[in-house]
Amino acid sequence: MSGGGRAINVLNVAEKPSVAKSVATLLSRGQGMRVREGRSRYNKIFEFDYGIRGQRCRMLVTSVTGHLMELEFEDRFRKWHSCDPADLYAAPVRKSVPQDKLDIKRTLEEEARRCQWLVLWLDCDREGENIAFEVIDTCTAANCNLTIKRARFSALIEREIHDSVQNLVEPNRWFADAVDARQEIDLRIGASFTRFQTMLLRDAFVIDSAADDRNLVLSYGPCQFPTLGFVVERFWEIQSHEPEEFWIINCSHKSEEGIATFNWTRGHLFDYTCAVIIYEMCVEEPPATVAGVRQQEKYKYPPHPLSTIELEKRASRYFRMSSEHTMKVAEELYQAGFISYPRTETDNFSARTDLHAIVQEQRGHPVWGSYAQRLLDPSSGLWRNPSNGGHDDKAHPPIHPTKFSGGERNWSQDHHRLYELVVRHFLACVSQPAVGAETTVEIDIAGEQFAASGRVIIAKNYLDVYRFESWGGSVIPTYVPGQQFIPTTLTLDSGVTRPPPLLSEADLLNCMDKAGIGTDATMHDHIKKLLDRFYATKDQNMRFSPTNLGEALVMGYDDMGYKLWKPNLRSMMEFDMRAVSEGAKTKAEVLETCLQQMKACFLDARSNKQKLMEAMAVFFERAARTARDEQHVVGEFVRLCGLCHQSNMVLKRNRDGNFMVGCLGFPQCRNVVWLPGSVSEAVVTANICNSCSPGPIYMIQFKFRRLEIPPIFSVDHLGCIGGCDDTLQQLTEICGTGSRMSARGGGPTPLSSSAQRSNSRQQACSSCRQLGHSSTDCPSVISGTRNSRSRRADQQDGGLSVSCDTCGASCPMRTANTANNKGRKFYSCQSEGCNFFVWEDSLQNGGGRHGANGGASNSRARSNSLGGRGRGGRGGNNATNGTFVSATGDPVTGRCYVCGDPSHFANACPNRFT
């Protein structure tokens, strides 16, 4: 091993103590290795003799603990009031070793003085390269004659480590530069915005967080803020959700073999008339014909090897552990040698990993040991080489067990759980997928398609050990093509669309991962920061809601038109960092352009600080000395909340100046009545509404902006929000509301919310002079001229069809079979999820669509924001109560949806389509 000539001293530095120990052990093969203390008690020094390409070496292997240095502003810029925060974009910064790392620095200096070579064993990623240069700077300051080399390795495996030390390379300056740029940008942006918004808002409002207001820091960071943005965005999405009623036909069939539930191929329809017509056709011609039976073998694959994010997501999902706690427990298991390094992006095992050896270790476990034995038995056929998740950080393998344990005495329940997850996940990864046999039966009732499916699990395979996942199986009776049967139940049911749930921790990690916010080692920190800063809370179900403070800050920047709370900024920076690390751009170039842009953004944000103040004023009271000129903060009493029955509903303005009546129980109670966007003034009067209950409900004197309401309405109106007031309802429909959600939606952020508001107000259609639509989507234009001509051109041989207004598919002509419309022809779209429907005679007449609602297939009438009346435009027809049950042969219940009479169905109603 050791060659001739005089031995040189080689200082080897790893990123962390564990790597130093591994490298030393592997290189020395455990022979003749000495350990001695350095100045830092964590960072030992290992010594042994070794030969590098014929050169005899005395190897000294030690470590740092991550970054050795920190970037800071020079002293005179460190105090918050020492300078204008805008100056922080140019204030001099310097890198230095912080107090708690000085002992490591001294060790490096002392050892470097007696060495000739320095070999860097830092992790092989950009941060690792940057740390390498911190070590180089420290060591060369003590000994300028050092020869500097970099060891490149991707796993702590004997052959790999020997190879890398025999093939030393140069450190990569570009990689380190990319990190330098990132650090400087993060520091300047973070410090300037944090100081600015903290000093602006903390003393101006009474922020009732758990922290003392004086110590509250309203931080801004390029990772924490987009993380908050995800939470707020979902919250807004939920708030803006307007439940929409839909209709669905359900069919089931019971036979001796069991029951099959058939789902309507159309999914659901939002148009009630359309759904009822189809439903009634099915009811009147109920025999079902089996159109097809499909049998397929399906596989459920085991997960990819375990990365940090996956570990965090799964621990959150399976055990409700926070990502921060998961990482703490994982770190302890790692320190004790039970699992591999827990901070890894890699989800692919290197071909050199001895997977069988890892399984072998687990054979003795009382619970999963027998599964491990089966895996190793070639005759079981259970083994499968793990899939490749496609990520490799080139530094660490996927998380896997490194030492057998049947459970240690000092382990908490969470240590047990996490170790079990890591082991079971690993065993699952090297197992065959679960196999199932799926049967799909398609049936046809009066031209409508339904389908049912069942699954039988043939082989559980990995699911036997991965108890966290399941694969539902259900058996359905046997059907043969052409078979006919009478459905046991055939019902028309209603449902309402639901908003998405609040973000779970796993969802949030997913969002961050996709947008490139944070790293595997820091993502949980950013989430925790939201909680620590009182920007968000986590409920019992581990789901995140923004606090008033978090929402106000995001709202403030959103109102300025900035995407500072979106992940774009970080993505842009990440793109630039990559360019630097590839040598396409220089560090100086990126710093200059990025900081110039950010400074301009900062100055602009500061000149628009009023937006931030206004957003805060929506949620918080002004501090005493500034509250004098504020009004509408608390609001005037209108009624007791009919939802929570605990708090008062008060008249308020939102930050755009739009009026609303909201429950003071917010955020626990979210009851709110949004008022028409055309209201210019609103004052609660002493008049009490005598038709709405429970009372008292105080009436509000409104003034509307003349140009924003149709001429038939008066600008002055004494109104009630209890549901009795038709004028308010109509104006709300016509003008829209000032609801933040209707303004924000999912589209691009408006630069000015007032511009958005005026766009949402509707003008009269220039074609038919009606309100509620524009000439481009006027029903008379669509069905009367342009589209009916194009439809005529679409006739097909062997049967008439028209092209669908909505999806463009061909819609065949069909004949209605209902009592009132027997023999009448219509076209309805066959595409899944499409509910286009039109009567043939309405096309021939060239006129508009049917009746008030009939035929206008896609009109998804929005529910009125003035509560309590069901769907707009169909007063008196409360369809949600009417589940029409028409079990063939069984009694039929329900009532007519047109007039509400229980003695007949709509198909026999004399008032239908009149």
Partner DNA sequence: GCAAGGTC
**Residue 220: active-site member:** no
Which tokens sit at 486? 């009478």
Residue number with CB closer to DNA (16 or 460) = 16
Distances (CA, A) of 282 to 251, 278, 279, 285, 818: 10, 6, 5, 5, 10
Burial class (CB in 10 A: 0-12, 13-18, 19+), 868: exposed
Cα first-last separation, the chain = 100
**Site membership for DNA, residue 15 (CB under 7 A):** yes
The correct pick among 187, 684, 715, 899 for binding DNA (CB under 7 A) is 187
**Site membership for DNA, residue 518 (CB under 7 A):** yes
Residue 542 beta carbon to DNA: minimum distance, rounded to whole angstroms: 22
Residue 330 beta carbon to DNA: minimum distance, rounded to whole angstroms: 11
The correct pick among 36, 37, 42, 681 for binding DNA (CB under 7 A) is 42
- Using the rule CB under 7 A, give the single segment among 198-206, 292-300, 448-456, 732-740 that binds DNA: 198-206
Residue number with CB closer to DNA (14 or 699) = 14
Binding mask 154-183 for DNA (x = CB under 7 A): ----------------------------xx
**Site membership for DNA, residue 223 (CB under 7 A):** yes
Residue 368 beta carbon to DNA: minimum distance, rounded to whole angstroms: 28
Which tokens sit at 411? 């382990």
The correct pick among 529, 538, 611, 814 for binding DNA (CB under 7 A) is 529
User: Checking phi first, is residue 461 left (phi over 0); if not, alpha (psi -120 to 50) or beta?
Assistant: left
- Using the rule CB under 7 A, give the single segment among 58-66, 425-433, 461-469, 634-642 that binds DNA: 58-66
Distance CA 144, CA 139 (A): 8
The correct pick among 60, 108, 118, 123 for binding DNA (CB under 7 A) is 123
Q: What residues contact 891, with CB distance under 8 A and at least 6 apart?
A: none
The side-by-side arrangement of strands in the sheet containing 679-688 is 679-688, 698-704, 716-719
Distance CA 694, CA 663 (A): 15
Q: What residues contact 357, with CB distance under 8 A and at least 6 apart?
A: none
Residue number with CB closer to DNA (570 or 585) = 570
Residue number with CB closer to DNA (18 or 140) = 18
Helix/strand/coil for 393: coil
Binding mask 530-549 for DNA (x = CB under 7 A): --------------------
Strand partners, 35: 46
Residue 331 beta carbon to DNA: minimum distance, rounded to whole angstroms: 6
Strand partners, 494: 247
**Site membership for DNA, residue 599 (CB under 7 A):** no
The correct pick among 22, 194, 431, 886 for binding DNA (CB under 7 A) is 194
Which tokens sit at 389? 């998740």
- Rg from Cα positions in the chain: 35
Distance CA 179, CA 619 (A): 39
- Using the rule CB under 7 A, give the single segment among 245-253, 520-528, 618-626, 751-759 that binds DNA: 520-528
**Site membership for DNA, residue 397 (CB under 7 A):** no
The correct pick among 190, 401, 436, 854 for binding DNA (CB under 7 A) is 190
The correct pick among 2, 55, 140, 198 for binding DNA (CB under 7 A) is 198
Closest CA to 132 of 181, 182, 64, 183: 64
The correct pick among 222, 302, 386, 855 for binding DNA (CB under 7 A) is 222
Residue 181 beta carbon to DNA: minimum distance, rounded to whole angstroms: 11
Residue number with CB closer to DNA (50 or 565) = 565
Contact yes or no for 846/782 (Cβ under 8 A): no
The correct pick among 108, 120, 139, 191 for binding DNA (CB under 7 A) is 191
* Residue 677 CA from chain centroid, whole number: 31
Residue 570 beta carbon to DNA: minimum distance, rounded to whole angstroms: 8
**354-362 contact pairs (CB < 8 A, 24+):** 355/385, 355/386, 355/430, 358/400, 358/401, 358/402, 358/426, 359/426, 359/427, 359/430, 361/401, 361/403, 361/404, 362/401, 362/404, 362/423, 362/427
Residue number with CB closer to DNA (263 or 522) = 522
**Site membership for DNA, residue 101 (CB under 7 A):** yes
User: In the range 59-88, which residues lie near DNA by CB under 7 A?
Assistant: 64-67, 70-73, 78-81
Residue number with CB closer to DNA (68 or 765) = 68
Residue number with CB closer to DNA (15 or 725) = 15
Residue number with CB closer to DNA (242 or 324) = 324
Closest CA to 728 of 867, 878, 861, 635: 867
**Site membership for DNA, residue 343 (CB under 7 A):** yes
Which tokens sit at 301? 């694959």
Closest CA to 35 of 27, 26, 24, 19: 24
Contact yes or no for 818/284 (Cβ under 8 A): yes
Residue 340 beta carbon to DNA: minimum distance, rounded to whole angstroms: 12
* Residue 731 CA from chain centroid, whole number: 35
Residue number with CB closer to DNA (223 or 232) = 223
**Site membership for DNA, residue 859 (CB under 7 A):** no
Binding-site size, DNA (CB under 7 A):
54
**Site membership for DNA, residue 325 (CB under 7 A):** no
Q: Which of 89, 220, 341, 897 is catalytic?
A: 341
CA torsion, points 806, 807, 808, 810, in degrees to nearest 10? Answer: -100
**Site membership for DNA, residue 562 (CB under 7 A):** no
The correct pick among 13, 16, 120, 180 for binding DNA (CB under 7 A) is 16
Residue number with CB closer to DNA (202 or 862) = 202
Which tokens sit at 169? 């390379």
Q: What residues contact 73, with CB distance under 8 A and at least 6 apart?
A: 88, 91, 92, 93, 187, 191
- Using the rule CB under 7 A, give the single segment among 13-21, 358-366, 735-743, 800-808 that binds DNA: 13-21
Helix/strand/coil for 733: helix
Q: What are phi and psi of 112, to 5 degrees?
A: -60, -35
Q: What residues contact 505, with CB distance under 8 A and at least 6 apart?
A: 312, 313, 316, 322, 323, 527, 538, 542, 544
The correct pick among 125, 513, 576, 733 for binding DNA (CB under 7 A) is 125
The correct pick among 26, 61, 104, 427 for binding DNA (CB under 7 A) is 104
Distance CA 426, CA 784 (A): 65
- Which amino acids are annotated catalytic? 341
Query: Would you tell me which residues interact with DNA (CB under 7 A)?
Result: 15-18, 42, 64-67, 70-73, 78-81, 100-101, 104, 123, 125, 127, 131, 182-183, 186-187, 189-191, 194-195, 198-199, 202, 217, 219-225, 331, 335, 343, 518-519, 521-522, 525-526, 529
